């Protein structure tokens, strides 16, 4: 198949804002393709070349992409920068410059889909001496061989900014439409399979060959992560007790969600975002081998950093280990960990998702040998007493944890969010998890860095991010402690995500999530959300969370109402 055929689909998707229409476009296209091409298309239509749990990154920043465009078109980098400032999209820039290309190959062949895909994958594996030059050459060769429209989407794919609006829900509906039907049962079967095994190309093939029953029979595969069950936010204990009666209250730990897979001596550790962090936690791998008594299992827990006195460290400290690629043993010594296990999904060859919560906890206790302060079962009480839960809640907060999970004792393990069964109880004036959606370049001591950051909350109805404040406090100019985050570090993280730049203001692709403290929430006509955080302060980078976890505008409205009531008392 020619790559240009997929490019035509990209253009259709970009022109059609309707989610239903997008699903139809993809469904009609994949129905006509071979199995191999279906698997490639299901990746590229999302703008990715690997399933997210693989953990591979193409590692191409804007500056390198500009060099590749310069090399393949003959235009000066300054010209490319000017075009980028006005359009905010290097895809559009390369399309325009390629149309009036100054340099071209003498012999030009049409791009094959498989060759483009293979070349994109190669970018993740180029290493050693001359890595940057090799990547630069590979990208510029692809652009040189491409038509203007093909070059546009090659560049966007490499930068992880495809801009065709295809989310997982659209992929689910497209697979159902193409190979099953448009019923709720078909969509539910696809969604279940996507949660069990987040490789949508494989799922499309199973749907094509084995139908709904084939999808429903899929089981968790040891070593491949599944989407985790998430809790809904709740405002009071009483409403949960009134609805469910006796419930299980568990500490909500301030740490990293860990999904642990064990198969004999092989251990895999994944975050809630399905990132493989096994190498970063050799101490946890060792504990799992010592303390899990069965050969095969999938268990879940929360990893927290602990200090020399056995007290929990803030997540910001632990986050240094999550991102660390070198000096691992040094970090193990400096930031020891404790895991608090709270669920089990698989034991030996049995999937236990459908067993009630308390039965799963009983199984968990049977398969684990606890080591105090190192490898333990999460703290839990089962009661219908609001007073008892309030006391337990205070104990969690006093222990420097986030609050409680309130869990329905008969609940099954259900993938995803807003599924019922688990509820989060946190302080009313809690920190907020927000996305950085823009920045201003600094002046004075902060010259050369982004000096203040525009915060965005999430509109769940539209998927948009709405401005709700500007932050410049809490980020450090110099490191005084190991877990400090500096303006320089944050600038380096955000630079590859710059969408456009005008004057001293930068628009940033929402990808980086941070925890933010604040004095109060105010109504404000200056921000799209209608609210502004007063004196927001940076607390931590939340590398364990995705933008889907960012707090919503509804949450901010609710906190504003609570704050107003408390002021009027």
Query: Which sequence positions are flagged as catalytic?
Result: 252
Residue 214 neighbours by CB under 8 Å, 6+ apart: 206, 207
Give CA angle at 9 (6, 15), nearest 5°: 150
User: Which residue, chain included where needed, has tokens 């949450």?
Assistant: 555
What is the separation of C-alpha 169 from the centre of its chain, rounded to a whole number of angstroms? 16
Q: Are 401 and 252 in contact (CB under 8 A)?
A: yes
* Residue positions counted in the chain: 569
Question: From the CB of residue 377, how many other CB atoms can be counted at a distance below 10 Å?
Answer: 16
Q: What are the Cα distances from residue 549, in Å, to 87, 133, 260, 445?
A: 29, 37, 21, 33
Q: What are the Cα distances from residue 279, in Å, to 257, 269, 393?
A: 16, 9, 34
Q: Are 208 and 179 in contact (CB under 8 A)?
A: yes
The two tokens of residue 379 are 């703290």
Question: From the CB of residue 139, how many other CB atoms can be counted at a distance below 10 Å?
Answer: 25
Question: From the CB of residue 447, how many other CB atoms can be counted at a distance below 10 Å?
Answer: 9
SS3 of 352-378: the string is CCCCCHHHHHHHHHHHECCECCCEEEC
The two tokens of residue 394 are 């205070």
What is the separation of C-alpha 330 from the centre of its chain, rounded to a whole number of angstroms? 27
550-569 burial code (b ≥16 CB/10 A, e <16): bbbbebbeebbeeeeeeeee
What is the separation of C-alpha 564 from the centre of its chain, rounded to a whole number of angstroms? 33
Q: Are 271 and 227 in contact (CB under 8 A)?
A: no
Alpha helices in 259-339, H assignment, sequence order: 282-291, 315-323, 328-334
The two tokens of residue 71 are 């090399």
Q: Are 444 and 459 in contact (CB under 8 A)?
A: no
Question: From the CB of residue 32, how many other CB atoms can be counted at a distance below 10 Å?
Answer: 11
Enter the DSSP assignment of 112: B
Give CA angle at 44 (456, 260), nearest 5°: 70
Question: From the CB of residue 283, how many other CB atoms can be counted at a distance below 10 Å?
Answer: 19
State the Cα–Cα distance between residues 261 and 288, nearest whole angstrom. 9
Q: Are 455 and 553 in contact (CB under 8 A)?
A: no
Q: What are the Cα distances from residue 168, in Å, to 129, 195, 203?
A: 38, 11, 13
Q: How many Cα atoms sit within 13 Å of 44 on the Cβ side? A: 28
SS3 242: helix
């Amino acid at each position: 198949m020619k790559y240009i055929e997929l490019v035509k689909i990209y253009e259709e998707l970009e022109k059609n804002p309707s989610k239903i229409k997008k699903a139809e476009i993809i469904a009609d296209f994949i129905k006509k393709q071979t199995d191999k091409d279906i698997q490639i298309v299901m990746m590229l239509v999302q703008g990715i070349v690997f399933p997210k749990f693989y953990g591979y990154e193409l590692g191409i920043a804007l500056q390198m992409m500009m060099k590749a465009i310069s090399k393949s078109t003959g235009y000066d980098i300054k010209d490319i920068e000017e075009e980028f400032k006005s359009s905010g999209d290097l895809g559009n820039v390369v399309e325009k410059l390629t149309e009036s290309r100054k340099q071209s190959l003498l012999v030009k062949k049409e791009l094959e889909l498989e060759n483009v895909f293979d070349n994109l994958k190669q970018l993740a594996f180029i290493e050693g001496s001359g890595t940057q030059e090799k990547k630069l050459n590979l990208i510029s060769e692809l652009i040189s061989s491409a038509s203007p429209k093909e070059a546009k989407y090659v560049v966007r794919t490499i930068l992880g900014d495809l801009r065709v609006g295809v989310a997982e829900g659209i992929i689910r509906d497209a697979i159902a439409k193409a190979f099953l039907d448009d019923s709720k049962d078909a969509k539910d079967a696809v969604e279940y399979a996507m949660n069990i095994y987040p490789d949508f190309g494989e799922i499309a093939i199973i749907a094509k060959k084995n139908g709904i029953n084939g999808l429903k029979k899929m089981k968790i595969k040891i070593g491949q992560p599944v989407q985790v069950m998430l809790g809904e936010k709740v405002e009071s204990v009483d409403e949960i007790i009134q609805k469910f009666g006796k419930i299980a209250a568990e500490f909500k730990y301030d740490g990293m969600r860990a999904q642990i897979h064990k198969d004999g001596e092989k251990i895999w550790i994944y975050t809630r975002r399905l990132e493989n962090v096994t190498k970063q936690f050799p101490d946890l791998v060792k504990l799992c081998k010592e303390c899990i008594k069965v050969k095969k299992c999938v268990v879940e827990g929360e990893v927290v950093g602990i200090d020399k006195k056995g007290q929990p460290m803030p997540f910001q400290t632990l986050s240094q280990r999550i991102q660390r690629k070198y000096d691992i043993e040094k970090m193990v010594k400096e930031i020891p960990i404790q895991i608090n296990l709270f669920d089990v999904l698989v034991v030996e060859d049995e999937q236990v998702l459908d067993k009630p919560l308390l039965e799963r906890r009983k199984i968990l206790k049977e398969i684990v040998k606890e080591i105090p302060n190192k490898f333990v079962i999460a703290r839990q009480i089962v009661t219908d007493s609001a007073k008892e839960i309030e006391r337990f809640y205070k104990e969690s907060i006093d222990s420097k944890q986030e609050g409680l999970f309130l869990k329905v004792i008969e609940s099954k393990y259900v993938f995803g969010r807003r599924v019922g069964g688990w509820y989060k109880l946190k302080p009313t004036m809690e920190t907020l998890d927000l996305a950085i959606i823009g920045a201003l370049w600094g002046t004075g001591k902060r010259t050369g860095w982004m000096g203040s950051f525009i915060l965005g909350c999430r509109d769940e109805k539209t998927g948009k991010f709405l401005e709700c404040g500007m932050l410049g406090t809490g980020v450090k100019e110099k490191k005084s402690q190991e877990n400090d985050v500096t303006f320089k570090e944050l600038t380096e993280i955000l630079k590859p995500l710059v969408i456009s730049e005008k004057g001293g203001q930068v628009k940033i692709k929402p990808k980086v999530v941070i925890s933010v403290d604040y004095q109060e929430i105010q109504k404000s006509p200056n921000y799209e959300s209608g609210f502004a955080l007063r004196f927001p302060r940076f607390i931590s980078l939340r590398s364990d969370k995705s933008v889907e976890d960012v707090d919503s505008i509804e949450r901010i409205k609710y906190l504003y109402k609570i704050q107003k009531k408390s002021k009027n008392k």
